[in-house]
Structure 1
Amino acid sequence: MGVTVNPTVSRRRLGSELRRLREVSGMTTQQVAERLLISQPKISLLENGHRLIKPRDVRDLCALYGVQDQRRVDHLMQLARESGQQGWWNSYGDISYGAYIGLEAAAAAIRSYEPMVIPGLLQTPAYAQAVIAGTIPHATAEQAATRLQVRLRRQSRLGAPRNPLRLWVVLDESALRRVVGGCEVMREQLDHLIHLSARPHITLQVLPHDVGAHPGVSGQFALLEFADATDVSVVYLERFTSDLYLEKRSDVRRYSDMYAHLQTQALGPDRTRHFLDDVVKTYGGTEFCPDLYRSGHGVQRVQEPCPSMS
């Protein structure tokens, strides 16, 4: 059986190695750009793992940096070849967050804070379908179906027989109270969370409303950590138009400290399961039923609460 190649990781490792070689040579990115007749931003993108590089360009850079070890040159050229391969997510077409999927697929551990919705790795199919429909209202039926397939396939990391993803999640209470898809969907989703939280490699904590202000009020973030010591940890910030990836050690340290504070303020895993049990009961047994009414300001949507929540 062949070794599975993750092009995102290969590109990041290659960029990191090229940056290290340049720094050892004493050259600046501007000097490298002038010698190779390319733009300085291109050098920065290559070193940050945000741009593909051809094997022959790697060879030219190694020559410029004075690398004498041919085995090392061959290794870096092989990383360049691997970085140009396709990840499994590419078979689904143009996925806007493909870079994140590549990092997630290679991560050994993820620490995630979610303020508004259940994180994708823990979503049931019905909940995921409702989230996609609500957050991407202009998506075609085919695009929505593709998103759902990709999301569910990502979840395979949690059930991997060898080295399953180590996942910590701090979930704001708002995500539990926000009725996505209806009462039945929410009840199924929360039962699913309770079931998953019993797995040894998944730690779930709820941050109750009565905690008040906390370090996560500015929004969602995730910390991705990797088994290989050469792979730098990444902070992922999901945004509407373009996501952010922070790799500076100072940024990673800052978000790690924020996450530690959130974990301290959140309920422990056992209390979280009891909390989820209580929230599940509030959804009763009647389907959520939105209604429409007209006012002088146009059509507005009114969501009638589930009977047991009123």
Structure 2
Amino acid sequence: MPTARLRRLARTLRGLRNERGLTREEVAARTSVNEATLYRLETAKGRPQRRTLLTLLDTYDVDSDKREAILALSTQAAEQGWLRPYHADLRDEYVGYISFEIEARSVRNYESLVVPGLLQTERYAQAAIRGVLPTATATKVDQRVLARMERQTSFTNDPPLELWAIVDEAALRRLVGGPDVMIEQLNHLAEMSTRPYVTLQVIPYTAGSHSGMHGSFVLMDFPDPDDPELVYIESMAGDLFLETDEDIRRYNQIFDHLRAVALSPGNSANLITAVAREIA
């Protein structure tokens, strides 16, 4: 299961090998570590056993101070104290996303049809998840709602998670859960938009076509400068984590365009309040 620290460890091992000018084939020839294992370790698809890690550190002539830091990082990469028993029934990709979000410094989220999960009320989340998963049992729906509500505790961290959310006006007008649930949700959005760690913008219908019409996405960055940004895309065809420089640059450009076409935070709050009054 991916974590930010496992990604950092993978990049560290890949960087050490490249610094020595070695290919995976050459490392495999010098050690008992085969190429397939090296590939998994260098792409965060697995965590090395201590013996394997020590072998690689010896091969790369890593000094004692750096060696201890890498060994500590490997231990930390295995720690997932945030896991709860009910997470076992969630998709691996979603649990992975939660692990990244917990470690993130900031999240930029564009949503075209629903309110961002970090800003959902419990009743809205219940109705939204039930609608998306019509065949799920009540227990499974409750587990997903609990996970979504738990994610919002990131706002209580010190420092709190910073969220910049952009939503299409359609997300405000879709009556998820009915009028009462939606009014409660819109009022919650208006209140959250006043928090110093939340920036909320709405793209009005009058903006016409825009670069977010292809679908929703999340951009995350992390406190450690060695952890590059990450893009997460959820779809019916499967969830994707993108981390190449090209993908990061492309989605940053898309988000910048969406910020430009969206209403200002103040006017967005006014629109949210106006829609709530219309529904009422």
Scaled to the shorter chain, the TM-score interval is over 0.9
Corresponding position: 1:89 with 2:83: yes
Match of 1:294 in 2: none
Match of 2:17 in 1: 22
- Deviation track 1:134-158 (CA, whole Å, cap 9, x = no partner) reads 1122222222111111110110112
TM-score (norm 2): 0.93
TM-score (norm 1): 0.84
Match of 2:255 in 1: 259
Over 3 Å counting, the alpha-carbon distance change for 1:56 and 1:258 in structure 2 is same
Match of 2:176 in 1: 180
- Deviation track 1:28-76 (CA, whole Å, cap 9, x = no partner) reads 2343345445554442332232322222211111122222x12222221
Structure 2 gaps, min length 5: none
Displacement, 1:93?
A: 3.5
Over 3 Å counting, the alpha-carbon distance change for 1:138 and 1:90 in structure 2 is same
Over 3 Å counting, the alpha-carbon distance change for 1:176 and 1:30 in structure 2 is farther
The share of aligned pairs that are identical, in percent, is 39
| Pairing of 1:59-208 with structure 2 (within 5 A) | 59-67=54-62, 69-94=63-88, 95-96=90-91, 97-160=94-157, 162-208=158-204
- Deviation track 1:5-45 (CA, whole Å, cap 9, x = no partner) reads x9812211111111110110111234334544555444233
Over 3 Å counting, the alpha-carbon distance change for 1:7 and 1:210 in structure 2 is closer
Structure 1 gaps, min length 5: 1-5, 285-310
The Cα RMSD (Å) is 1.8
Q: Which has the higher helix share?
A: 2
Tell me, what secondary structure is at the counterpart of 1:216? helix
Displacement, 1:188?
A: 0.3
Aligned equivalents of 2:29, 2:234: Cα separation in 1: 35
Displacement, 1:166?
A: 0.8
8 Å CA contact 1:14–1:76 kept in 2: the answer is yes
Aligned equivalents of 1:38, 1:140: Cα separation in 2: 45
State the aligned residue count: 277
Given candidates 23, 39, 42, the residue that maps to 1:44 is 39
Aligned equivalents of 2:33, 2:131: Cα separation in 1: 44
- Deviation track 1:74-121 (CA, whole Å, cap 9, x = no partner) reads 221222222222231343242321111111001111111001100110
Displacement, 1:276?
A: 0.7
Q: Which has the larger radius of gyration?
A: 1
